[in-house]
Structure 1
Amino acid sequence: MSYNNVTPTKKNYILAAARLLTGLLFVFSGLIKANDPVGFGYKLQEYFLVFNLDVLNPYTTGIAIFICGLEIIFGVLLLVGIYPIMVSWGLLLMILFFTFLTFYSAFFEVVTSCGCFGDAIPLTPWESFGKDLVLLLFILVIFYYRRQIKPLFKESFNQGLVLISTVVISMAIGIYTANYLPFVDFLPYKKGANIPALMSLPAGAQLDEFAYEYKLKNTVSGEEKSVSDKVYLSEKIWEDSTWAIQGEPTSRLVKAGYKIPISDLLIFDEAGTDYTKELIENPYYNFIIVAQDLNQVQVKELLKINDITAKIATDYNLRAVLLTSSSAQDAGFLSDQLGLIFEIFYADAVPLKSMVRANPGIILMKDGVIINKWHYHNFPSLTELEKKYFNKDK
């Protein structure tokens, strides 16, 4: 392939624009997902399920950290112009893979959101596919002109230093957030959130607006036609007994309305009694220990949380709840074996994964508001908890 018979100025402008947009987008996308690699790992599990790769589920967080880091690395190296051949090949292979995944998800409707920008910017599969097509165009430009990319740093030592620094920093971000919660929480259960308010429809909020279509058949002439619900009513077709509705009407979303941020949280006890309202509206301090999967829970950390909670529960009117999606048999067995003081309640795994990205994770609530939340790695000591939250209410 020849690169010498073209106008340098024009090509440089095209290349510069493609490099800038692609580099920034890859860095942004990588950082957004590295902010919450556990959540991105949950999205990867959906893809693994589609392609029968469930064997990889235990490694999803590690895979997520690697993918996020790789995006950041490719983006930074593209922007500074070092290792252009390696980077252009890496970008091309990565975007071809992503484009295939988003098209497959959109066409076969197997994954409802690609997770390209985490929970910060949810995209539908078709939106993700369109985004990948635009990126593919930019990357093809970069690949075609890859030998014209000039590095900002010509010395090999400086280039190596940039590469090593970028690799270390990009991977460290994901490792840190996987172990100490995201820097920025984009989920409904973030610090300061009023859970009862997020579970209800605000006054005056508009719901989804649908249009309905009826299939009609004339019992006399045999004519068939389809009409909207508005036409059906405005033309009073319903008064004409010769027209009969065939089957059920089909619906089409015309205008999306307000989406209740938390619509799937239901907390119940072993007998199935609903305790959602009682627990989330508790006017006093309460710990919600979220252990989505008790078979994978960090037992040592759960015991530490249990010991600290036991010391403050009686002194500060604190209610302590263990919330899990595991079976009542598993929960009861673990509680007896470890001597847990927590009341045990149950909920679906989906909202529990959104509550806190840890197993176990801890949420401190009061009067329906999330005061704070912690990964088990940075759960405060008894002294810190008393000093910051409980002494003033003693």
Structure 2
Amino acid sequence: MKVLVNISRVLVGILFIFSGFIKLNDPLGFSYKLQEYFSPDVLNIPFLEPYALMISVFVVVFEVVLGVFLLIGYKPKFTVWSLMAMMVFFTFLTFYAAYFEKVKDCGCFGDFLKLEPWETFWKDVVLLVLIIILFIGVKYIAPLYGRLTTTILALLSFILSLGFGYHVLMHLPVFDFRAYKIGNNIKEGMSIPEDAPKPLVEYYWTFNINGAEQTITTKGAYPDVDGDFVGVDTKVIREGYQPPVVDFSIESEDENLVDEFLNEEKLIIVVSYGLEFIEREGALKLKALQKEAREKGYKIIGLTASGESEKQRIKAAYGLDFEFYLCDEKALKTVVRSNPGILELDKGTVKQKVHWNDLEDLKL
């Protein structure tokens, strides 16, 4: 049992620190995933959606801290009980999401690693088994150092985790694993290779044959059946190739201008997923940005999911005269974790990306 406990202790501790740190690198992204869980279509607790960011920071900091506590042996009973409570909850949550096909990606490892719902559930089951071993053998979890040293390390883990989370919220994630990171080309990210795997879809055709309904399965072709057609259902058996960049657009009222703008050599894009939520301090900096950009030969545009009235209100309020185009809100939240956020593009390649707090660091 002592050997099992020590093996479980190392595995659980390292995995909690790693998983927590990945999410701590992007707590805003994890809060978007929590909002998805809280939505009426999943857990139906929408009253928690406004608190998603606060809950996100608490969960990821607590996850990292628990991993450190376990490895150094700080307050073993509290640590193991906390780990058990957290894993029971998340195992239920991932089972619910997988069984009812509510959420495609749990967000356990942020954008670093995408897991299928059932992969996430079984990962949690394995973790839960390891934590049960720790729960049974908690007496074998001894501190690695003296009481004072252990307490100092525990306190440092909390302070450093909280400080790192605050830093990335006020700037941008230190490590960017998304398709819009600096150096990536958005046009290339939207393309689908000719030899890319195609989705495998089954079609379930229902016919009324001699007064009785019968269902015939095909891979898409309309069946040759002597009967009256009733309806058809489909099921995706295997997903096809999914390009890294989806739902990205630059739309006016009449057309999608994404190809035109992604061929511009000097383009500044101001991203605000919702102008009604734009940070005032950030919006105040945009007038000076538009002036400098134009003086140096850049074209400047905005991207938002907000409607026309909100666009006009913001432009009038902050003295902006560049055009805001339409793009999907979820896509814009993925592009940059800031409202507003600013990108410099060269023929679709992301050259610079900054939080509005760091606008002074944008080199034109």
CA distance in 1, matches of 2:127, 2:359: 41
Query: Shift in Å at residue 14 of structure 1?
Result: 1.1
| TM-aligned CA distance change 1:378 to 1:226, over 3 Å | same
> CA, structure 1 residues 321+231, in 2 after alignment: closer, same or farther (shift >3 Å)?
closer
Shift of residue 263, structure 1, vs aligned partner: 2.5
Deviations 1:18-38 (A, max 9, x none): 111111111111011111111
**What is the match of residue 263 of structure 2?**
281
CA distance in 1, matches of 2:95, 2:290: 49
Structure 1 CA distance, aligned partners of 2:314 and 2:215? 59
SS at match of 1:247: strand
Distance 1:230 1:330 in 2: 46
Q: TM-score, normalised by structure 1?
A: 0.85
Q: Are 1:268 and 2:251 counterparts?
A: yes
Name which of 142, 148, 155 aligns with 1:157.
148
Higher deviation after alignment, 100-109 or 338-347: 100-109
Q: Could you say if the C-alpha distance between residues 91 and 248 of structure 1 is closer, same or farther in structure 2, counting changes exceeding 3 Å? A: same
Indicate the residue corresponding to 1:332 in structure 2.
Answer: 312
Residue 366 of structure 1 pairs with residue 321 of structure 2: no
Instruction: Give structure 2 stretches of 5+ with no counterpart.
Output: none
> Is residue 167 from structure 1 mapped to residue 161 from structure 2 by the alignment?
no
Equivalent in 269, 284, 297 of residue 278 of structure 2:
297
Bigger Cα displacement from structure 2, 284-293 vs 58-67: 58-67
Q: Structure 2: how far apart are the matches of 1:56 and 1:225?
A: 45
Match of 1:207 in 2: 198
* Cα 1:263/1:231, change in 2 over 3 Å: closer
1-side partners of 2:221 and 2:196: how far apart? Answer: 28
SS at match of 1:253: strand
Distance 1:107 1:313 in 2: 53
- For residues 339-375 of structure 1, what are the alpha-carbon distances to aligned partners after superposition, in whole Å with 9 as ceiling and x for unaligned? 1132221212111101100000001101111111011
Contact 1:265–1:348, Cα closer than 8 Å, also in 2: yes
1:111 corresponds to: 103
Post-superposition shift, 1:380?
2.7
Q: Secondary structure at the match of 1:380?
A: helix
> Which residue of 2 is the match for residue 130 of structure 1?
122
The whole-number CA distance in structure 2 between the counterparts of 1:267 and 1:362 is 15
* Equivalent residues of 2:201, 2:220 under 8 A apart: no
Residue 78 in structure 1 maps to residue 70 in structure 2? yes
Q: Which residue of 2 aligns with 1:247?
A: 230
More off after superposition, 223-232 vs 92-101: 223-232
Within 5 A, what are the aligned runs for 1:229-244? 229=218, 238=224, 243-244=226-227
Of 334, 344, 348, the residue aligned with 2:328 is 348
Structure 1: which amino acid aligns with 2:281? K
Is contact 2:283-2:318 (8 Å) kept?
no
Q: Which residue number in structure 2 is paired with residue 176 of structure 1?
A: 167
Q: TM-score, normalised by structure 2?
A: 0.91
Tell me if the contact between 1:194 and 1:368 (Cα under 8 Å) persists in the aligned partners: yes
The question of whether the paired residues in 2 share the 8 Å contact of 1:357 and 1:375 is answered with: yes
Taking a change above 3 Å as real, the CA distance of residues 337 and 225 of structure 1, as seen in their structure-2 partners, is closer
Q: Is the 8 A contact 1:310 1:341 kept in 2?
A: no
From 18, 21, 29, give the equivalent of 2:11.
21
Mapped to 1, the partners of 2:307 and 2:237 lie a distance apart of 41
Which residue does 2:27 correspond to in 1?
A: 37
SS state at 2:39 partner: helix
Does the CA contact (< 8 Å) of 2:202 and 2:220 recur in 1?
Answer: no
User: Structure 1: which 5+ runs fail to align?
Assistant: 1-10, 387-394
Give the greater-gyration-radius structure (CA): 1
Please say if 1:385 is aligned against 2:363. yes
Q: CA RMSD in A?
A: 2.3
SS in 2 for 1:365: strand
Which letter maps to 2:363?
L
Secondary structure, counterpart of 1:342 in structure 2: coil
| Change in 2 beyond 3 A, CA 1:298/1:263 | same
Q: Partners of 1:115 and 1:67 in 2: how far apart? A: 13
TM-fit CA distance, 1:217: 6.1
